[in-house]
Amino acid sequence: MSVSDGKWAAWTSYGPVLSQVELHMLKRKLEINPVLANTHGSFRLVFNMVTGRVTRLSHDSRDSEHSFDARGEPATLPRVEQLLIITPLSPWCTTVNNSKGVTVGDVCAHLWRDYTDQLVTEAEFNSLPPQIQEDVKQVATRNPSVDGMYHSVPVTNQVRRVDWLRECVFFEALRKDDDYTVSRFGFKSPNVFVMDLLN
């Protein structure tokens, strides 16, 4: 069951799914699903990037989380085969692909896998200031590691991308920010979104 009504409801017949080329040829702007934009009228998405746990918090009853049933909803309208997600908190870009149209569930799953499966390279780690390196190491000891265990002394090559985020591991929203996109890539594209995170 979908938590959204109307155009965002989880159906299979939304019209065509645009490829990267079609998106640029048609010069279409993408509308972000209110669940991902954090503008949904009745609830807020709660997505922990460390654990991958996805629930929703009702605006009416802020004291209890509910199961998340918007996974099948399209991430954008029109639907697209590919989204690129960046954040000011890390140097990486997460690519989310689905030939049938990227869904809200795809976004959450790809972000979680990308940040928990990928290790920070030694060169990336060394690019951080020494104090931030220490902070990242401390976070890595608190987060479950690649093998699912907690380690009191993380090895540099065992630091994951999610550890780099330090305490900011809760998804807040996706948004468009062409100026920031251009500063990162040197160009803008309708399917590049900026992810905001909270602690």
Q: Parse the chain into domains and list their residue ranges.
A: 6-118+167-198, 119-159
Residue pLDDT tens, the chain, 199 long: 345 557 887 765 567 899 999 999 998 899 999 999 999 877 888 999 999 999 888 766 666 666 777 889 999 999 999 999 999 999 999 999 999 999 999 999 999 999 999 999 999 999 999 999 999 999 998 887 555 555 555 555 589 999 999 999 999 999 999 999 999 999 999 999 999 999 8
Interatomic CA distance for residues 76 and 167, integer angstroms = 28
pTM for the whole structure: 0.88
Q: What is the pLDDT of residues 126-167, one digit of tens each?
A: 999 999 999 999 999 888 755 555 555 555 558 999 999 999
